[in-house]
C-alpha cells in the first residue's frame, strides 16, 4: 500500500504488478534485464504500451539524436552501439534490414536510445522510449514501446486543448480516465506485437501541443494512477479515437472545468461520473504481456 497526496486529498492506493518471408519475429518471453536496459527507466518501472506506428512500408526515415544501441529482439544479441546520433533511411532487403549498415540475416531490430525521453524519430516524428522494426515480405513495420504515462500525456495533450481547460484538477481527471482506458486495452490486447495503432487513436509521440504548467503538473501528480471498479468499464473496451470521444462525452469538458475551477479535486470529479471507482497505482505491466530485448552479452 502506498499513501499519495493528490489534489486536495490524501488517498491510499493498492500497488499492482499488475523477415523477409519466413524470418522469425520476436516471441513472448520472460523478461531478462541487463545494465543497458535498466537505463531505459520505464522498461523496468512502468507499464509499457506498444503502439503500431505504421506497417507494410517500403521504408522509413529513422533518426536517433544521441547515443543508442541496436539489438535483435528475437535473439537478444546486440548488433551495434553508436556513441553519437544516427539518421538514415531504413529499408528492407532480401538479406535483412539496412539502416546505415546492412544487418545481414536480421529481419527485426530494436533501437534503444541512451536517453529514453529523446526517443526515436520515425518519418520526422519523435517517439519516446524504444522502437522496434520488423521486416515481413520485404516490407517494414514500426512499433513504438512507450511508457503508459508518456502515451497518456501525448493523448491528453492533443485532445484537451488549453482553450478548453487550464485547470490542473480537470486535466488530472482526464489523465486518469484516459490512462485507465489505455491500460484496459493493454491488458486485453490479443497481439504480442502491438496493443493499439497510432492512426486509430491519434497518437503523435513527443509531438504534443501542451507545455503549460497545469498540464505538466497534472501528468506528474497522476503518474501511474488508474481507476478500478465496474463504472470505469463504461469507457468501453477498445482504445481508439471513438474511445477518447466517449471519455469527453462521459465527462463533459465544460462541467469538468467548472468543477475544477470551483475547487473540486480530480478524485471528486471522477466520482461524479464514476461513483464506484477506486484509484490504483499501477507499478508494472504483468510480465506475460511484455516482451523485452534479452541480453546475449
The DSSP string of 129-193 is SEEEEEEETTEEEEEEEEEHHHHHHHHHHHHS-TTT---HHHHHHHHHHHHHHHHHHHHH---SS
pLDDT above 70 coverage of the chain, percent: 77
> What's the pLDDT at 74?
81
pLDDT digit string, tens, across residues 255-292: 999 999 999 999 999 999 999 889 999 876 543 333 44
Q: Which residue has the higher pLDDT, 14 or 206?
A: 206
Q: Is 29 helix (H, G, I), strand (E, B) or coil?
A: coil
pLDDT digit string, tens, across residues 203-242: 999 988 899 999 999 999 999 999 987 554 555 557 889 9
Distance CA 97, CA 110 (A): 11
Mean pLDDT for 170-180 is 97
Dmax over Cα atoms in the chain, in whole Å?
63
pLDDT digit string, tens, across residues 52-74: 999 999 999 999 999 999 998 88
pTM: 0.81
Mean pLDDT for 15-38 is 34
Amino acid at each position: 500500500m502506498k499513501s499519495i497526496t493528490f489534489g486536495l486529498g490524501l488517498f491510499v492506493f493498492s500497488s499492482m504488478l499488475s523477415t523477409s518471408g519466413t524470418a522469425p519475429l520476436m516471441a513472448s518471453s520472460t523478461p531478462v534485464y541487463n545494465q543497458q536496459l535498466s537505463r531505459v527507466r520505464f522498461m523496468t518501472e512502468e507499464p509499457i504500451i506498444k503502439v503500431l506506428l505504421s506497417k507494410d512500408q517500403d521504408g522509413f526515415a529513422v533518426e536517433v539524436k544521441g547515443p543508442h544501441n541496436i539489438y535483435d529482439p528475437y535473439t537478444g544479441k546486440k548488433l551495434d552501439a553508436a556513441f553519437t546520433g544516427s539518421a538514415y533511411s531504413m529499408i528492407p532487403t532480401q538479406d535483412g534490414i539496412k539502416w546505415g549498415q546492412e544487418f545481414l540475416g536480421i529481419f527485426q531490430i530494436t533501437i534503444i536510445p541512451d536517453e529514453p525521453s529523446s526517443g526515436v524519430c520515425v518519418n520526422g516524428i519523435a517517439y519516446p522510449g524504444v522502437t522496434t522494426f520488423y521486416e515481413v515480405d520485404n516490407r517494414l513495420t514500426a512499433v513504438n514501446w512507450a511508457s503508459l504515462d508518456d502515451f497518456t500525456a501525448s493523448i491528453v495533450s492533443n485532445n484537451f486543448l488549453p482553450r478548453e481547460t487550464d485547470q490542473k484538477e480537470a486535466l488530472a481527471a482526464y489523465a486518469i480516465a484516459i490512462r485507465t482506458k489505455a491500460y484496459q486495452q493493454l491488458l486485453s490486447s490479443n497481439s504480442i506485437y502491438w496493443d493499439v495503432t497510432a492512426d486509430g487513436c491519434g497518437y503523435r509521440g513527443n509531438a504534443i501541443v501542451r507545455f503549460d504548467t497545469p498540464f505538466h503538473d497534472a501528468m506528474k501528480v497522476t503518474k501511474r494512477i488508474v481507476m478500478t471498479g465496474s463504472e470505469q468499464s463504461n469507457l468501453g473496451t477498445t482504445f481508439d479515437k471513438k474511445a477518447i470521444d466517449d471519455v469527453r462525452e462521459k465527462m463533459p469538458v465544460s462541467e469538468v472545468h467548472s468543477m475544477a475551477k470551483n475547487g473540486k479535486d480530480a478524485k471528486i470529479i471522477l466520482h461524479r461520473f464514476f461513483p464506484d471507482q477506486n484509484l490504483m497505482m499501477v507499478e508494472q505491466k504483468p510480465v506475460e504481456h511484455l516482451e523485452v530485448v534479452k541480453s546475449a552479452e
